[in-house]
Protein backbone atom coordinates (compact mmCIF):
# COMPACT_ATOMS: atom_id res chain seq x y z
CA UNK A 1 0.00 0.00 0.00
CA UNK A 2 1.26 3.51 -0.75
CA UNK A 3 2.53 5.61 2.17
CA UNK A 4 0.45 8.53 3.44
CA UNK A 5 0.28 11.30 0.85
CA UNK A 6 1.39 8.98 -1.97
CA UNK A 7 -0.93 8.23 -4.86
CA UNK A 8 -1.33 4.58 -5.83
CA UNK A 9 0.07 4.17 -9.34
CA UNK A 10 -1.42 1.43 -11.50
CA UNK A 11 0.87 -1.19 -12.98
CA UNK A 12 0.00 0.05 -16.47
CA UNK A 13 1.21 3.56 -15.56
CA UNK A 14 4.48 2.23 -14.09
CA UNK A 15 5.13 0.23 -17.24
CA UNK A 16 4.14 3.10 -19.53
CA UNK A 17 6.85 5.24 -17.89
CA UNK A 18 9.42 2.65 -19.03
CA UNK A 19 7.90 2.71 -22.54
CA UNK A 20 8.21 6.52 -22.71
CA UNK A 21 11.83 6.38 -21.54
CA UNK A 22 12.83 3.81 -24.18
CA UNK A 23 10.85 5.60 -26.92
CA UNK A 24 12.59 8.91 -26.18
CA UNK A 25 15.97 7.15 -26.32
CA UNK A 26 15.14 5.84 -29.79
CA UNK A 27 13.92 9.25 -30.94
CA UNK A 28 17.18 10.85 -29.80
CA UNK A 29 19.03 8.07 -31.66
CA UNK A 30 21.32 7.49 -28.68
CA UNK A 31 23.39 4.52 -29.73
CA UNK A 32 27.14 4.21 -29.85
CA UNK A 33 27.35 7.95 -29.04
CA UNK A 34 27.15 7.56 -25.30
CA UNK A 35 27.99 3.91 -24.77
CA UNK A 36 31.45 2.36 -24.45
CA UNK A 37 32.89 0.21 -27.22
CA UNK A 38 33.68 -3.41 -26.44
CA UNK A 39 37.38 -4.14 -26.41
CA UNK A 40 37.13 -7.58 -27.99
CA UNK A 41 38.77 -8.87 -31.17
CA UNK A 42 36.31 -9.04 -34.10
CA UNK A 43 36.73 -12.79 -34.63
CA UNK A 44 35.84 -13.51 -30.97
CA UNK A 45 32.83 -11.25 -31.23
CA UNK A 46 31.68 -13.05 -34.39
CA UNK A 47 32.10 -16.35 -32.56
CA UNK A 48 30.01 -15.00 -29.66
CA UNK A 49 27.19 -13.98 -32.00
CA UNK A 50 27.34 -17.31 -33.86
CA UNK A 51 26.96 -19.15 -30.56
CA UNK A 52 23.91 -17.00 -29.73
CA UNK A 53 22.46 -17.93 -33.14
CA UNK A 54 23.00 -21.64 -32.43
CA UNK A 55 21.22 -21.38 -29.06
CA UNK A 56 18.31 -19.49 -30.66
CA UNK A 57 18.08 -22.11 -33.45
CA UNK A 58 18.02 -24.90 -30.88
CA UNK A 59 15.40 -23.51 -28.51
CA UNK A 60 13.24 -21.21 -30.68
CA UNK A 61 13.27 -22.81 -34.13
CA UNK A 62 10.36 -20.90 -35.68
CA UNK A 63 11.51 -17.55 -34.32
CA UNK A 64 15.07 -18.29 -35.50
CA UNK A 65 13.84 -18.98 -39.05
CA UNK A 66 12.09 -15.62 -39.03
CA UNK A 67 15.25 -13.80 -37.93
CA UNK A 68 17.08 -15.04 -41.04
CA UNK A 69 15.15 -12.49 -43.11
CA UNK A 70 16.50 -9.61 -41.02
CA UNK A 71 19.68 -7.67 -41.84
CA UNK A 72 22.78 -9.48 -40.46
CA UNK A 73 23.44 -6.83 -37.78
CA UNK A 74 19.83 -6.86 -36.54
CA UNK A 75 19.60 -10.63 -36.64
CA UNK A 76 22.75 -11.03 -34.51
CA UNK A 77 21.54 -8.43 -32.02
CA UNK A 78 18.17 -10.17 -31.61
CA UNK A 79 19.98 -13.48 -31.01
CA UNK A 80 22.10 -11.83 -28.30
CA UNK A 81 18.99 -10.47 -26.56
CA UNK A 82 17.17 -13.81 -26.88
CA UNK A 83 20.10 -15.64 -25.27
CA UNK A 84 20.37 -13.19 -22.35
CA UNK A 85 16.61 -13.51 -21.70
CA UNK A 86 16.83 -17.29 -21.88
CA UNK A 87 19.75 -17.40 -19.43
CA UNK A 88 17.85 -15.09 -17.06
CA UNK A 89 14.75 -17.29 -17.22
CA UNK A 90 16.82 -20.44 -16.67
CA UNK A 91 18.01 -19.02 -13.33
CA UNK A 92 14.56 -19.65 -11.82
CA UNK A 93 13.12 -22.26 -14.20
CA UNK A 94 16.21 -24.20 -15.30
CA UNK A 95 17.83 -27.37 -13.92
CA UNK A 96 19.60 -25.50 -11.07
CA UNK A 97 16.59 -23.37 -10.11
CA UNK A 98 16.25 -24.93 -6.66
CA UNK A 99 19.70 -23.55 -5.70
CA UNK A 100 19.00 -20.01 -6.92
CA UNK A 101 18.82 -17.36 -4.18
CA UNK A 102 17.95 -13.64 -4.28
CA UNK A 103 21.72 -13.01 -3.90
CA UNK A 104 22.40 -14.91 -7.12
CA UNK A 105 19.90 -12.64 -8.92
CA UNK A 106 21.61 -9.58 -7.41
CA UNK A 107 24.91 -10.85 -8.83
CA UNK A 108 23.28 -11.39 -12.23
CA UNK A 109 22.02 -7.78 -12.13
CA UNK A 110 25.54 -6.49 -11.27
CA UNK A 111 26.84 -8.45 -14.24
CA UNK A 112 24.21 -6.79 -16.42
CA UNK A 113 25.33 -3.34 -15.26
CA UNK A 114 28.96 -4.21 -16.02
CA UNK A 115 27.95 -5.47 -19.44
CA UNK A 116 26.19 -2.15 -20.21
CA UNK A 117 29.44 -0.42 -19.21
CA UNK A 118 31.31 -2.46 -21.84
CA UNK A 119 32.77 -5.00 -19.37
CA UNK A 120 31.25 -8.38 -20.31
CA UNK A 121 31.86 -11.38 -18.03
CA UNK A 122 31.83 -14.10 -20.71
CA UNK A 123 31.44 -14.66 -24.44
CA UNK A 124 27.63 -14.56 -24.52
CA UNK A 125 27.64 -11.38 -22.42
CA UNK A 126 30.08 -9.89 -24.95
CA UNK A 127 27.54 -10.30 -27.77
CA UNK A 128 24.93 -8.42 -25.75
CA UNK A 129 27.44 -5.76 -24.64
CA UNK A 130 28.24 -5.12 -28.32
CA UNK A 131 24.51 -5.02 -29.18
CA UNK A 132 23.61 -2.46 -26.50
CA UNK A 133 26.57 -0.32 -27.60
CA UNK A 134 25.30 -0.26 -31.20
CA UNK A 135 21.55 0.13 -30.66
CA UNK A 136 19.53 2.62 -28.55
CA UNK A 137 18.57 0.04 -25.91
CA UNK A 138 17.82 1.10 -22.33
CA UNK A 139 18.93 -1.03 -19.36
CA UNK A 140 15.59 -0.71 -17.50
CA UNK A 141 13.67 -3.52 -19.27
CA UNK A 142 16.61 -5.89 -18.60
CA UNK A 143 16.61 -4.98 -14.90
CA UNK A 144 12.84 -5.38 -14.83
CA UNK A 145 13.12 -8.92 -16.23
CA UNK A 146 15.43 -9.81 -13.33
CA UNK A 147 12.79 -8.30 -11.00
CA UNK A 148 10.28 -10.75 -12.53
CA UNK A 149 12.60 -13.62 -11.60
CA UNK A 150 12.75 -12.28 -8.02
CA UNK A 151 8.94 -12.43 -7.93
CA UNK A 152 9.07 -16.08 -9.03
CA UNK A 153 11.21 -16.85 -5.97
CA UNK A 154 8.93 -15.18 -3.45
CA UNK A 155 5.43 -14.64 -4.82
CA UNK A 156 3.30 -17.71 -5.68
CA UNK A 157 -0.06 -15.79 -5.80
CA UNK A 158 -1.44 -12.65 -7.48
CA UNK A 159 -4.32 -10.74 -5.84
CA UNK A 160 -5.74 -9.19 -9.00
CA UNK A 161 -5.00 -8.50 -12.65
CA UNK A 162 -3.13 -5.29 -11.85
CA UNK A 163 -0.51 -7.36 -9.97
CA UNK A 164 -0.47 -10.03 -12.66
CA UNK A 165 -0.07 -7.43 -15.41
CA UNK A 166 3.10 -6.11 -13.75
CA UNK A 167 4.47 -9.66 -13.47
CA UNK A 168 3.68 -10.32 -17.16
CA UNK A 169 5.46 -7.08 -18.08
CA UNK A 170 8.52 -8.06 -16.02
CA UNK A 171 8.96 -11.53 -17.50
CA UNK A 172 7.73 -11.03 -21.08
CA UNK A 173 6.59 -7.49 -21.93
CA UNK A 174 10.19 -6.42 -21.35
CA UNK A 175 11.28 -8.57 -24.32
CA UNK A 176 9.11 -6.52 -26.68
CA UNK A 177 10.58 -3.26 -25.37
CA UNK A 178 14.14 -4.61 -25.71
CA UNK A 179 13.51 -5.82 -29.26
CA UNK A 180 11.89 -2.85 -31.03
CA UNK A 181 15.07 -0.70 -31.08
CA UNK A 182 16.78 -3.63 -32.83
CA UNK A 183 13.99 -4.49 -35.24
CA UNK A 184 13.47 -0.87 -36.19
CA UNK A 185 10.30 1.01 -37.11
CA UNK A 186 9.36 1.23 -40.78
CA UNK A 187 10.44 4.51 -42.44
CA UNK A 188 6.88 4.66 -43.88
CA UNK A 189 5.23 4.33 -40.49
CA UNK A 190 2.98 7.18 -39.41
CA UNK A 191 2.42 5.69 -35.95
CA UNK A 192 3.98 7.31 -32.89
CA UNK A 193 7.07 5.60 -31.45
CA UNK A 194 5.18 5.15 -28.14
CA UNK A 195 2.31 3.31 -29.85
CA UNK A 196 4.72 0.85 -31.50
CA UNK A 197 6.33 0.16 -28.11
CA UNK A 198 2.90 -0.26 -26.53
CA UNK A 199 2.03 -2.87 -29.15
CA UNK A 200 5.33 -4.71 -28.53
CA UNK A 201 4.54 -4.65 -24.81
CA UNK A 202 1.03 -6.00 -25.54
CA UNK A 203 2.53 -8.94 -27.47
CA UNK A 204 4.74 -9.83 -24.51
CA UNK A 205 1.76 -9.61 -22.12
CA UNK A 206 -0.39 -11.73 -24.49
CA UNK A 207 2.34 -14.38 -24.79
CA UNK A 208 2.82 -14.57 -21.03
CA UNK A 209 -0.92 -14.77 -20.31
CA UNK A 210 -1.04 -17.61 -22.85
CA UNK A 211 1.88 -19.36 -21.09
CA UNK A 212 0.05 -19.01 -17.77
CA UNK A 213 -3.20 -20.47 -19.16
CA UNK A 214 -1.35 -23.32 -20.88
CA UNK A 215 0.68 -24.21 -17.76
CA UNK A 216 -2.00 -24.09 -15.03
CA UNK A 217 -1.54 -27.77 -14.11
CA UNK A 218 2.25 -27.66 -14.29
CA UNK A 219 2.44 -24.54 -12.11
CA UNK A 220 -0.03 -25.99 -9.59
CA UNK A 221 2.26 -29.01 -9.16
CA UNK A 222 4.92 -26.52 -7.98
CA UNK A 223 2.47 -24.75 -5.65
CA UNK A 224 2.11 -21.72 -7.94
CA UNK A 225 -1.14 -20.16 -9.13
CA UNK A 226 -0.60 -17.36 -11.66
CA UNK A 227 -4.29 -16.40 -11.91
CA UNK A 228 -5.98 -13.31 -10.42
CA UNK A 229 -7.29 -14.44 -7.02
CA UNK A 230 -10.20 -11.97 -7.03
CA UNK A 231 -11.42 -13.22 -10.43
CA UNK A 232 -11.15 -16.85 -9.30
CA UNK A 233 -13.30 -15.98 -6.26
CA UNK A 234 -15.85 -14.15 -8.44
CA UNK A 235 -16.12 -17.31 -10.57
CA UNK A 236 -16.78 -19.36 -7.42
CA UNK A 237 -13.35 -21.01 -7.58
CA UNK A 238 -10.34 -21.25 -5.26
CA UNK A 239 -6.79 -22.60 -5.26
CA UNK A 240 -8.20 -25.90 -3.96
CA UNK A 241 -10.19 -26.32 -7.20
CA UNK A 242 -7.01 -25.79 -9.21
CA UNK A 243 -5.04 -28.30 -7.13
CA UNK A 244 -7.93 -30.78 -7.53
CA UNK A 245 -7.66 -30.27 -11.30
CA UNK A 246 -11.30 -30.85 -12.21
CA UNK A 247 -12.80 -29.27 -15.32
CA UNK A 248 -16.21 -27.95 -14.30
CA UNK A 249 -18.60 -25.44 -15.86
CA UNK A 250 -17.32 -22.82 -13.42
CA UNK A 251 -13.78 -23.51 -14.61
CA UNK A 252 -14.81 -23.37 -18.29
CA UNK A 253 -16.50 -20.01 -17.80
CA UNK A 254 -13.50 -18.66 -15.91
CA UNK A 255 -11.15 -19.85 -18.66
CA UNK A 256 -13.32 -18.27 -21.38
CA UNK A 257 -12.92 -14.85 -19.76
CA UNK A 258 -9.15 -15.33 -19.32
CA UNK A 259 -8.72 -16.41 -22.97
CA UNK A 260 -10.79 -13.45 -24.11
CA UNK A 261 -8.46 -11.07 -22.27
CA UNK A 262 -5.33 -12.68 -23.77
CA UNK A 263 -6.83 -12.35 -27.27
CA UNK A 264 -7.51 -8.68 -26.60
CA UNK A 265 -3.79 -8.16 -25.99
CA UNK A 266 -2.95 -10.07 -29.19
CA UNK A 267 -5.31 -7.74 -31.10
CA UNK A 268 -3.51 -4.75 -29.58
CA UNK A 269 -0.15 -6.24 -30.59
CA UNK A 270 -1.21 -6.69 -34.22
CA UNK A 271 -1.55 -2.95 -34.66
CA UNK A 272 2.14 -2.48 -33.99
CA UNK A 273 3.66 -5.34 -35.99
CA UNK A 274 2.70 -3.67 -39.27
CA UNK A 275 4.68 -0.58 -38.18
CA UNK A 276 7.98 -2.46 -37.76
CA UNK A 277 10.71 -2.41 -40.36
CA UNK A 278 9.56 -4.76 -43.16
CA UNK A 279 12.51 -7.17 -42.86
CA UNK A 280 11.86 -7.57 -39.12
CA UNK A 281 8.15 -8.35 -39.26
CA UNK A 282 8.20 -12.06 -40.10
CA UNK A 283 9.55 -13.48 -36.80
CA UNK A 284 7.12 -11.27 -34.87
CA UNK A 285 4.11 -12.32 -36.95
CA UNK A 286 5.19 -15.97 -36.66
CA UNK A 287 5.42 -15.68 -32.88
CA UNK A 288 2.06 -13.91 -32.66
CA UNK A 289 0.16 -16.37 -34.87
CA UNK A 290 1.67 -19.44 -33.21
CA UNK A 291 1.09 -18.26 -29.67
CA UNK A 292 -2.45 -17.23 -30.45
CA UNK A 293 -3.14 -20.81 -31.62
CA UNK A 294 -2.24 -22.17 -28.17
CA UNK A 295 -5.44 -20.49 -26.91
CA UNK A 296 -7.41 -22.33 -29.64
CA UNK A 297 -5.84 -25.60 -28.48
CA UNK A 298 -6.89 -24.96 -24.85
CA UNK A 299 -10.46 -24.57 -26.13
CA UNK A 300 -10.10 -27.72 -28.26
CA UNK A 301 -9.03 -29.59 -25.08
CA UNK A 302 -12.33 -28.50 -23.46
CA UNK A 303 -10.38 -26.15 -21.15
CA UNK A 304 -8.51 -29.04 -19.51
CA UNK A 305 -5.20 -27.33 -18.83
CA UNK A 306 -4.70 -29.38 -15.68
CA UNK A 307 -3.61 -32.68 -17.21
CA UNK A 308 -3.34 -31.80 -20.91
CA UNK A 309 -0.74 -29.39 -22.25
CA UNK A 310 -2.09 -27.39 -25.18
CA UNK A 311 0.45 -27.33 -27.98
CA UNK A 312 0.44 -26.46 -31.67
CA UNK A 313 1.35 -29.43 -33.88
CA UNK A 314 4.39 -29.29 -36.18
CA UNK A 315 2.08 -29.32 -39.21
CA UNK A 316 0.14 -26.30 -37.92
CA UNK A 317 3.39 -24.50 -37.08
CA UNK A 318 4.66 -25.15 -40.60
CA UNK A 319 1.45 -23.78 -42.08
CA UNK A 320 1.73 -20.64 -39.95
CA UNK A 321 5.05 -19.64 -41.50
CA UNK A 322 3.72 -18.70 -44.98
CA UNK A 323 0.74 -16.97 -43.32
CA UNK A 324 3.13 -14.95 -41.15
CA UNK A 325 5.29 -14.15 -44.17
CA UNK A 326 2.26 -13.00 -46.18
CA UNK A 327 1.25 -10.67 -43.37
CA UNK A 328 4.78 -9.33 -43.03
CA UNK A 329 4.94 -8.09 -46.61
CA UNK A 330 1.49 -6.47 -46.71
DSSP character for 219?
Answer: H
Whether 287 contacts 204, CB under 8 Å: no
d(C-alpha 77, C-alpha 16), whole Å: 24
Q: What is the pLDDT along the chain (330 residues), one digit of tens a residue?
A: 544 455 567 888 888 788 788 777 776 654 444 555 555 666 889 999 999 999 999 998 878 888 888 899 999 999 999 999 999 999 988 777 778 889 999 999 999 999 999 999 999 999 999 999 999 999 999 999 999 999 998 898 999 999 999 999 999 999 999 999 999 999 999 999 899 999 999 999 999 999 999 999 999 998 999 999 999 999 999 999 999 999 999 999 999 999 999 999 999 999 899 999 998 998 899 889 989 999 999 999 999 999 999 988 888 877 888 888 888 887
**Residue among 162, 166, 245, 159 at smallest CA distance from 201:** 166
**Confidence at residue 26, expressed as pLDDT on a 0 to 100 scale:** 73
Give me the torsion for CA of 157, 163, 167, 173, rounded to 10°.
150
Distances (CA, A) of 19 to 185, 199, 213: 15, 10, 26
What is the pTM (predicted TM-score) of this model? 0.89
Strand-pair partners of 22: none
Residue 72 backbone class (left: φ over 0; alpha: ψ -120 to 50; beta: rest): alpha
How far is C-alpha 213 from the chain's CA centre?
15
Q: Is 28 helix (H, G, I), strand (E, B) or coil?
A: coil
d(C-alpha 281, C-alpha 303), whole Å: 31
How far is C-alpha 124 from the chain's CA centre?
19
d(C-alpha 247, C-alpha 297), whole Å: 15
d(C-alpha 153, C-alpha 235), whole Å: 28
**Residue among 57, 48, 115, 38 at smallest CA distance from 77:** 48
What domains can you pick out in the chain, each with its CATH number?
A: 11-30+138-329 (1.10.600.10), 37-135 (1.10.600.10)
Where are the alpha helices (H) located in 140-228, listed in sequence order? 140-154, 161-168, 174-183, 193-214, 216-221
Angle at 259 between CA 257 and CA 260, to 5 degrees: 65
Beta-carbon contacts of residue 91 (< 8 Å; ≥ 6 apart) = 97, 100, 104, 105, 108, 149
Whether 231 contacts 257, CB under 8 Å: yes
**Confidence at residue 39, expressed as pLDDT on a 0 to 100 scale:** 56
**Residue among 329, 22, 330 at smallest CA distance from 169:** 22
Whether 123 contacts 4, CB under 8 Å: no
Distances (CA, A) of 320 to 13, 176, 292, 323: 34, 21, 11, 5
Amino acid sequence: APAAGEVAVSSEQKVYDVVLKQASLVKRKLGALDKPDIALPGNLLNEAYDRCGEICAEYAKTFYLGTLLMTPERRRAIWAIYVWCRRTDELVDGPNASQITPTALDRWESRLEELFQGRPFDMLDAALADTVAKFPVDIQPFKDMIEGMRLDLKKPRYKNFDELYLYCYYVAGTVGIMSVPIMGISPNSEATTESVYNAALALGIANQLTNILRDVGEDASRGRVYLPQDELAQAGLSDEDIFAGKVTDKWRNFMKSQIKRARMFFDEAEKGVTELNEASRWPVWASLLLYRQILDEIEANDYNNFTRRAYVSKAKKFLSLPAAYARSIV
